[in-house]
Structure 1
């Protein structure tokens, strides 16, 4: 969305949206007066008025921006999110989770890894349950990103874990969310898609779109370190490669082997500023929402910039600009 904010413009070349990094010590201002957000140093817990780090925190920030009486009321219009809109994050604010594109998740390992680069679904499940190779002793580390990130919640679901399974640091000692590979829940959280601390005996999930865009210069910071992407394989020997625009990544012929690691990424927008809303905003509608039900026609400015989606490693999606209402009033 940072890249989209540079190219989504009106007829006079005025930018129509703004987007800020989830992590950064510097603050930013979203309105001509007021609405000053302070920076963060990678903290994942949501604090009103601070950079929101992670999909859940972004949705909470949007909630406060549409909740009367909050300090940041009126300061934001949308939240980008790699997980579906959740009522638990949004309070009573009614939104649409508008689909943007398809992303896929895979595992990453260090180039000098002792871990196989080709793993089955069951291998990955076993690794994150500390029941595979060196993970059994905790000598190898299965990494997850910081709390609140969409990547963390999606990946935990894929490998059969919940946040409840991780409550006690003594359980699953091979699983950590620390950049220094220390005990889970410490003071050095691993930022999602930051693979610079991967060593030869650790594994981590990563967005293929993020990895590709870092490789191709689509983003300013290259956080890949010495990582390489892993490949999902099946007991039959079938392979699914995590290459850009592979919208069927992880879909294998054998149901037991199917890792189906694609996901939809969204923009979460309050319905009050969309079509038919109490404060319908023509700019928001034209940027985010597909209002034409005809197949093959899409009115969303974002959805029509498939060149930008491809640059950042995403695949266009037929349902772009549409989505379900969360918290219907």
Structure 2
């Protein structure tokens, strides 16, 4: 990719600075530039913000800029103004560019040295990078609280619903709903349901509904007025939304409560949450996934990366109360060189 000419770059950066004036909710506050710059996905944004508040002084050690939402971000006090990644794959591309790949260029901007790590639910399957799990997330289905659809389904029943083989239960029709195109939750759910985007594009599953592209994932407003809708919902996000008042009071982090009329369903008679309201790690493994810190291999043995993310008993991995408060399951430090 060619670098942007110097004159054009100046105008481009000026426009981006204006766009960056309205940061995403999970970004560090304007003017705060942590020592280690992270990029996050729409799953890990609030968790990274919470971890930032308990590590270092006033969020000065780590911070994460959220993917999605458009506009631009600035990750260092000078320079490092670039387009906000739209999703997890783009965030990984930005991390790679910042650490010397692609000529250091991301969307036409040289971002060398502008990003240090990535927090995501997808392991980086590229040479030169290590994905270190530190928490657990899960996905289940949600329905309207007034719906007559079953509050418990088998994994096979869910797959049949999303393959348009089961159109109702006991006389109650069911409409399987998918998050917006490009969503990480959508990709994960489709992989578990045995459906591909190519199949959908070919018209093989006409019963599927996709929400409007402007609607965020894990938003119960989708279910308003639709007792027939069934859709995937992140357990971590639901738990955090339910505890949004406590999270704000204890951490200062704002989590928008978007549950609306949504209630989570059990799968194979296993509730997605524990009696205490946290994520239930007993959900079948197909519905669980790890949360990772992705680092360039060149930084694994150097401080502060090593003691924060890599070492036996790494600092980030030990933040059990914060990890669970934001709706994730505790995983501990399991990195093996």
- What residue is the counterpart of 1:265 in the other structure? 291
Map 1:207-246 onto structure 2 (within 5 A). Answer: 207-217=234-244, 218=247, 219-233=254-268, 239-243=269-273, 244-246=278-280
Residue 193 (str. 1) matches residue 218 (str. 2): yes
- What residue is the counterpart of 1:156 in the other structure? 190
Deviations 1:44-65 (A, max 9, x none): xxxxx2x223322221221222
- What residue is the counterpart of 1:124 in the other structure? 158
Q: CA deviation at 1:25?
A: 5.2
User: What is the alpha-carbon distance in structure 2 between the residues aligned to residue 81 and residue 232 of structure 1?
Assistant: 25
The answer to whether the Cα contact below 8 Å between 1:96 and 1:323 also exists between their aligned partners in 2 is: no
- What residue is the counterpart of 1:2 in the other structure? 49
Q: CA RMSD in A?
A: 2.3
- What residue is the counterpart of 1:44 in the other structure? none
User: What is the alpha-carbon distance in structure 1 between the residues aligned to residue 208 and residue 167 of structure 2?
Assistant: 14
User: What is the alpha-carbon distance in structure 1 between the residues aligned to residue 142 and residue 336 of structure 2?
Assistant: 31
Q: CA deviation at 1:27?
A: 3.7
User: What is the alpha-carbon distance in structure 2 between the residues aligned to residue 309 and residue 31 of structure 1?
Assistant: 26
- Residue 86 (structure 1) aligned to one of 125, 128, 131: 125
The answer to whether the Cα contact below 8 Å between 2:134 and 2:330 also exists between their aligned partners in 1 is: yes
User: What is the alpha-carbon distance in structure 2 between the residues aligned to residue 114 and residue 171 of structure 1?
Assistant: 27
Unaligned runs of 5+ residues in structure 2 are: 1-47, 248-253
When residues 177 and 56 of structure 1 are mapped into structure 2, their CA distance, relative to the original with a 3 A threshold, is farther
Deviations 1:61-90 (A, max 9, x none): 212222234122221111111122233xxx
Q: CA deviation at 1:196?
A: 1.8
The answer to whether the Cα contact below 8 Å between 1:99 and 1:267 also exists between their aligned partners in 2 is: yes
- Residue 113 (structure 2) aligned to one of 74, 93, 99: 74
Give 1 or 2: higher helix fraction: 2
- What residue is the counterpart of 1:22 in the other structure? 67
Deviations 1:213-257 (A, max 9, x none): 011013421121210001112xxxxx101112421113xxxxxxx
When residues 158 and 14 of structure 1 are mapped into structure 2, their CA distance, relative to the original with a 3 A threshold, is closer
User: What is the alpha-carbon distance in structure 1 between the residues aligned to residue 182 and residue 293 of structure 2?
Assistant: 17
- What residue is the counterpart of 1:310 in the other structure? 324
Q: CA deviation at 1:134?
A: 4.3
- What residue is the counterpart of 2:149 in the other structure? 115
- What residue is the counterpart of 1:57 in the other structure? 90
Q: TM-score, normalised by structure 2?
A: 0.72
- What residue is the counterpart of 1:206 in the other structure? 233
User: What is the alpha-carbon distance in structure 1 between the residues aligned to residue 69 and residue 118 of structure 2?
Assistant: 17
- What residue is the counterpart of 2:78 in the other structure? 33
What is the number of residues matched between the two proteins?
A: 267
The answer to whether the Cα contact below 8 Å between 2:141 and 2:233 also exists between their aligned partners in 1 is: yes
Unaligned runs of 5+ residues in structure 1 are: 38-48, 180-187, 234-238, 251-258, 293-297, 325-329
The answer to whether the Cα contact below 8 Å between 2:180 and 2:210 also exists between their aligned partners in 1 is: yes
Aligned to 1:28, the other structure's residue is in SS state strand
Aligned to 1:225, the other structure's residue is in SS state coil
The answer to whether the Cα contact below 8 Å between 1:99 and 1:323 also exists between their aligned partners in 2 is: no
Q: CA deviation at 1:31?
A: 0.7
When residues 147 and 273 of structure 1 are mapped into structure 2, their CA distance, relative to the original with a 3 A threshold, is farther
When residues 122 and 177 of structure 1 are mapped into structure 2, their CA distance, relative to the original with a 3 A threshold, is same
- What residue is the counterpart of 1:327 in the other structure? none
Q: TM-score, normalised by structure 1?
A: 0.74
Aligned to 1:98, the other structure's residue is in SS state strand
User: What is the alpha-carbon distance in structure 1 between the residues aligned to residue 150 and residue 61 of structure 2?
Assistant: 46
Aligned to 1:267, the other structure's residue is in SS state strand
